[in-house]
């Protein structure tokens, strides 16, 4: 069974062309997954990584994998035998096909499907388009082997296959459970709670709604209570395996920048029935693939991998038809089953259709999932991935019908070889139909992997004499889940994948100090930012030219020297010479002070009076004649800083602009007159620990454009806060170079 599923996947992916130590996918989210695998190898688990997010290191607690702990443990086991992240990733990806097929087969056999039908259905289930679409980029979504076991419990909760408990006696305390069923329920809780955080949300929702249906249908609240208990047990386990994250966030505060979801995202990633029943957008037959692509068009494209395939779609439609037939025929009109086997199949097919209907009502655009998002559960957004449950019940229905046909053929004297041949044909057709039409380009993957191995091997050679070398990555890319405006997304992870012993600035958890200092480099001119990076202790700068519209030309000129290493995409610049020059100018002690100033920057937030409030970003904001901003000193002690505020006033000045502390607004800290329209306030101030508020005021008139309802008296373009040493480096910089940026 497992071998047949792996063989089907190997054929679909043309694995005989693959180099095992080269990744099947070498871009996008797959790079993040490969970095995760290498982290597990290098550190033993996913919590931290000293070679990412330098110099502070990556702390991954805010983007946890606790809900995938069982799969992480499997990956960890594989890393004991090799240090090749691609080999581990490729191997585990193929193992997921076997695990899904075996889990489905065992559940289907428990439900009474014949061995041959169960084999065909389980293999087809293991090679759903979902599996290939998510693949190695979403490796833990590919391990959906918990879904069949959870589906079995959902059937029990629906009253199928003997029910979840014996309800013959009244009262909760009088319920009687089979020890075997309790063991399987416990197994389902364990698998769902430790293999897939997303599914850990789906199953409790489905269970609760199924229990509610039972309550209404049978007028018995106890199935609903048991369904809630099942869901609570899963959620409780998810909380338990994520305790390290909860403890970390209790000690360090919540991270408002990671896993930020909006209510509408559940609509964007909802289940689309058109994509479920139409062919995959990557179907082997181009004309059918075009149909799938049309389903992906529109305002709600959702994700790929939702297609059930020809066999699954047949089962999906059949399950709903059987459900409607049962709903619209009375017991008197409904013909009795011909035998016990037919009755058992009917008793499974109708509940399967009911669960499909419930799942659809939850997950489609505008479905019940939107109400959950409004209730505060917007982090559960990828409802289209519930298709692995739809797929199981759809293929189960097909299997039940296939067994019915097989039985009738046998009753008519047809030899067993005929239905077996038909099943074999269905298997072959289904595998072809569900396979990707464009398998990986292994030759291109080999070339790209070898090119990166050569380049980063050269970086390692240049840094061979350095102890604990660090390299700064340009452009700065937030981690994880960077906005799509960043062209290279997870591209910097290639540096970590191809090196050992080098710490890279990329990979610092956004929203935490390890990433904040890099973001604040955007407040500094390019040459000052390079000096800051040098003072922190970085030995070189890696430049990915694909991350810039101009191919990195503007940034490259800031170094003033040719790169030490270069290829068609990337460049490396050593900072050894710059460190010697900087140390000669300000001395080693001042370099150490500058390092601390840079690593623990003061950040600015715009408040009342500004029309764009929140963290100050490039571009600034318009403000009224009285605008408040705050400065946050992350240290536990007061510090002296140089505060520079730049902006515009109304035409026709000069108009005065004043700065005062909010706690003592009557005493001005500084005042300046706009030259033309431009003002620049530059003053040394003492900041207390934590947050302090500051007020900008002006006597200038409003200057908003006609039709603009806002009151605009100021336009603040820059709030720059520097420590004394950094400010001294800034002062040495010619004014014509102060507008250049290294970090966009």
Phi, then psi, of 630 in degrees rounded to 5: -120, 150
Tell me the domain boundaries of the chain: 2-54+65-250+265-330+338-434, 443-599, 603-737
Instruction: Determine the Cα–Cα distance for residues 476 and 506; give it in Å rounded to an integer.
Output: 7
Burial class (CB in 10 A: 0-12, 13-18, 19+), 351: buried
pLDDT score of 202 more than 90: yes
Percent of the chain beyond pLDDT 70? 96
Class of CATH domain 603-737: mainly beta
pLDDT score of 727 more than 80: yes
**619 pLDDT tier (thresholds 50, 70, 90):** confident
Strand, coil or helix: what is 511? coil
How far is C-alpha 397 from the geometric centre of its chain's CA atoms?
Answer: 33
Tens-place pLDDT, residues 115-147 = 999 999 999 999 999 999 999 999 999 999 999
Query: What's the pLDDT score for residue 306?
Result: 94
- Average pLDDT score over residue span 315-342: 77
Instruction: Determine the Cα–Cα distance for residues 160 and 428; give it in Å rounded to an integer.
Output: 31
C-beta of residue 131 within 8 angstroms of C-beta of residue 122: no
- The encoded tokens of residue 113 equal 């499907």
**333 pLDDT tier (thresholds 50, 70, 90):** low
- Average pLDDT score over residue span 437-460: 97
Query: What's the pLDDT score for residue 671?
Result: 85
- Average pLDDT score over residue span 99-128: 96
Tens-place pLDDT, residues 208-254 = 999 999 899 888 888 888 899 999 999 999 999 999 999 999 999 99
- The encoded tokens of residue 342 equal 């037919």
Burial class (CB in 10 A: 0-12, 13-18, 19+), 665: middle
- Average pLDDT score over residue span 36-56: 97
Strand, coil or helix: what is 88? helix
Instruction: Determine the Cα–Cα distance for residues 46 and 76; give it in Å rounded to an integer.
Output: 10
Query: What's the pLDDT score for residue 476?
Result: 95
pLDDT score of 92 more than 60: yes
The residue count for the chain: 744
Query: What's the pLDDT score for residue 79?
Result: 98
Tens-place pLDDT, residues 207-219 = 999 999 989 988 8
pLDDT score of 174 more than 80: no
pLDDT score of 331 more than 60: no
Asked which of 413-427, 493-507, 632-646 is least confident by mean pLDDT, the reply is 413-427
Query: What's the pLDDT score for residue 164?
Result: 67
Query: What's the pLDDT score for residue 330?
Result: 59
Tens-place pLDDT, residues 548-568 = 999 999 999 999 899 999 999
Alpha-carbon distances of 677 from 532, 646, 707, rounded to whole Å: 32, 11, 22
Which of 388, 407, 419 has its CA nearest to residue 346?
407
- Average pLDDT score over residue span 172-193: 84
Which pairs with CB-CB distance under 8 Å and at least 24 residues apart come from 609-612? 609/696, 610/716, 611/710, 611/712
Instruction: Determine the Cα–Cα distance for residues 640 and 722; give it in Å rounded to an integer.
Output: 9
Residue 668 CB-half CA count within 13 A = 11
The larger pLDDT score, comparing residue 689 to residue 301, is at 689
Strand, coil or helix: what is 488? coil
- Average pLDDT score over residue span 683-698: 95
**360 pLDDT tier (thresholds 50, 70, 90):** very high
DSSP strand pairing (570-574 vs 540-544): antiparallel
- Average pLDDT score over residue span 680-704: 93
- Average pLDDT score over residue span 599-611: 95
Instruction: Determine the Cα–Cα distance for residues 624 and 610; give it in Å rounded to an integer.
Output: 7
**Cα 384-386-388 angle, rounded to 5 deg:** 115
- Average pLDDT score over residue span 542-546: 96
ω into 55 cis (within 30 of 0): yes
Phi, then psi, of 599 in degrees rounded to 5: -70, -25
Query: What's the pLDDT score for residue 338?
Result: 59
Average pLDDT of the chain, as a whole number: 91
Query: What's the pLDDT score for residue 547?
Result: 93
pLDDT score of 172 more than 70: no
Alpha-carbon distances of 402 from 118, 395, 405, 434, rounded to whole Å: 10, 10, 5, 19
Looking up tokens 């086997």 gives 341
DSSP strand pairing (656-661 vs 690-698): antiparallel
C-beta of residue 653 within 8 angstroms of C-beta of residue 724: no
Burial class (CB in 10 A: 0-12, 13-18, 19+), 250: exposed
- Average pLDDT score over residue span 313-340: 79
Query: What's the pLDDT score for residue 337?
Result: 63
The larger pLDDT score, comparing residue 608 to residue 369, is at 608
Query: What's the pLDDT score for residue 438?
Result: 92
**407 pLDDT tier (thresholds 50, 70, 90):** confident
pLDDT score of 346 more than 90: no
Strand, coil or helix: what is 639? strand
Query: What's the pLDDT score for residue 327?
Result: 80
**334 pLDDT tier (thresholds 50, 70, 90):** low
DSSP strand pairing (614-615 vs 470-474): unpaired
């Amino acid at each position: 069974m497992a071998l047949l599923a792996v063989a089907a996947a190997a054929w679909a992916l043309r694995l005989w062309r693959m180099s095992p130590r080269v990744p099947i996918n070498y871009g996008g989210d797959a790079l993040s997954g490969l970095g995760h695998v290498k982290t597990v190898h290098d550190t033993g688990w996913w919590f931290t990584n000293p070679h990412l997010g330098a110099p502070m290191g990556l702390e991954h607690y805010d983007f946890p994998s606790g809900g995938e702990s069982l799969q992480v443990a499997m990956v960890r086991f594989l890393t004991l035998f090799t240090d090749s992240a691609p080999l581990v990733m490729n191997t585990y990806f193929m193992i997921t096909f076997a695990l899904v097929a075996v889990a489905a087969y065992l559940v289907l056999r428990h439900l009474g499907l014949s061995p041959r039908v169960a084999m065909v259905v389980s293999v087809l289930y293991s090679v759903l388009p979902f599996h290939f679409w998510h693949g190695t980029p979403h490796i833990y979504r590919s391990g959906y082997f918990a879904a069949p076991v959870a589906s079995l419990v959902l059937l029990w909760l629906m009253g199928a296959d003997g029910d979840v408990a014996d309800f013959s006696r009244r009262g909760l305390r009088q319920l009687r459970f089979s020890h075997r069923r309790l063991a399987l329920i416990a197994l389902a809780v364990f698998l769902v709670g430790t293999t897939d955080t997303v599914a850990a949300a789906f199953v409790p929702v489905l269970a609760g709604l199924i229990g509610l249906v039972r309550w209404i249908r049978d007028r018995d609240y106890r199935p609903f209570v048991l369904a809630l208990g099942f869901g609570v047990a899963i959620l409780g386990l998810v909380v338990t395996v994520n305790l390290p994250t909860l403890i970390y966030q209790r000690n360090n505060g919540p991270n408002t920048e990671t896993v930020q979801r909006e209510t509408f995202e559940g609509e964007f990633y909802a289940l689309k029935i058109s994509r479920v029943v139409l062919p995959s957008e990557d179907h082997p037959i181009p004309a059918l693939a075009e149909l799938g692509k049309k389903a992906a068009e529109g305002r709600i494209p959702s994700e790929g991998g939702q297609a059930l395939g020809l066999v699954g779609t047949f089962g999906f439609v059949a399950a709903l038809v059987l459900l409607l037939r049962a709903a619209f025929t009375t017991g008197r009109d409904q013909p009795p089953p011909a035998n016990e086997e037919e009755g058992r199949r009917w008793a499974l097919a109708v509940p399967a259709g009911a669960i499909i209907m419930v799942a659809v009502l939850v997950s489609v655009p505008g479905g019940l999932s939107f109400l959950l998002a409004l209730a505060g559960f917007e982090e559960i957004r990828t409802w289209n991935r519930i298709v692995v449950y739809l797929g199981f019940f759809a293929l189960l229905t097909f299997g039940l019908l296939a067994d019915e046909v097989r039985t009738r053929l046998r009753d008519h004297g047809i030899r067993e070889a005929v239905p077996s041949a038909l099943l074999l044909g269905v298997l072959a057709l289904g595998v072809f139909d569900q396979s990707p039409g464009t398998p990986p380009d292994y030759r291109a993957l080999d070339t790209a992997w070898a090119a990166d191995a050569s380049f980063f091997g050269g970086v390692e050679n240049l840094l061979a004499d350095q102890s604990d070398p660090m390299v700064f990555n340009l452009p700065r890319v937030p981690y994880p889940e960077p906005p799509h405006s960043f062209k290279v997304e997870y591209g910097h992870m290639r540096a970590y994948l191809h090196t050992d012993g080098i710490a890279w600035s990329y990979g610092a958890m956004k929203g935490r100090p390890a990433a904040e200092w890099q973001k604040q480099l955007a407040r500094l001119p390019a040459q000052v930012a390079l000096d800051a990076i040098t003072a922190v202790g970085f030995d070189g700068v890696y430049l990915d030219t694909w991350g810039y519209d101009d191919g990195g030309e503007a940034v490259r000129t800031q170094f003033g020297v040719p790169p030490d290493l270069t290829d068609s995409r990337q460049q490396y610049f050593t900072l050894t010479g710059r460190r010697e020059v900087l140390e000669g100018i300000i001395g080693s002690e001042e370099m150490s002070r500058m390092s601390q100033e840079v690593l623990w920057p003061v950040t600015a937030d715009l408040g009342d009076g500004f029309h764009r409030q929140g963290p100050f970003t490039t571009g600034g904001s318009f403000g009224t004649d009285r605008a408040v901003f705050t400065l946050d000193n992350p240290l536990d002690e007061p510090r002296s800083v140089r505060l520079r505020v730049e902006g515009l006033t109304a035409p026709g000045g000069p108009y005065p602009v004043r700065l005062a502390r909010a706690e003592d607004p009557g005493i001005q800290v500084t005042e300046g007159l706009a030259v033309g329209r431009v003002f620049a306030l530059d003053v040394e101030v003492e900041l207390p620990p934590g947050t302090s508020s500051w007020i900008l005021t002006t006597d200038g008139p409003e200057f908003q454009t006609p039709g603009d309802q806002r009151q605009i008296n100021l336009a603040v373009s820059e709030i720059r806060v520097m420590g004394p040493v950094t400010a001294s480096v800034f002062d040495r910089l010619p004014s014509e170079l102060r507008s250049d940026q290294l970090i966009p």
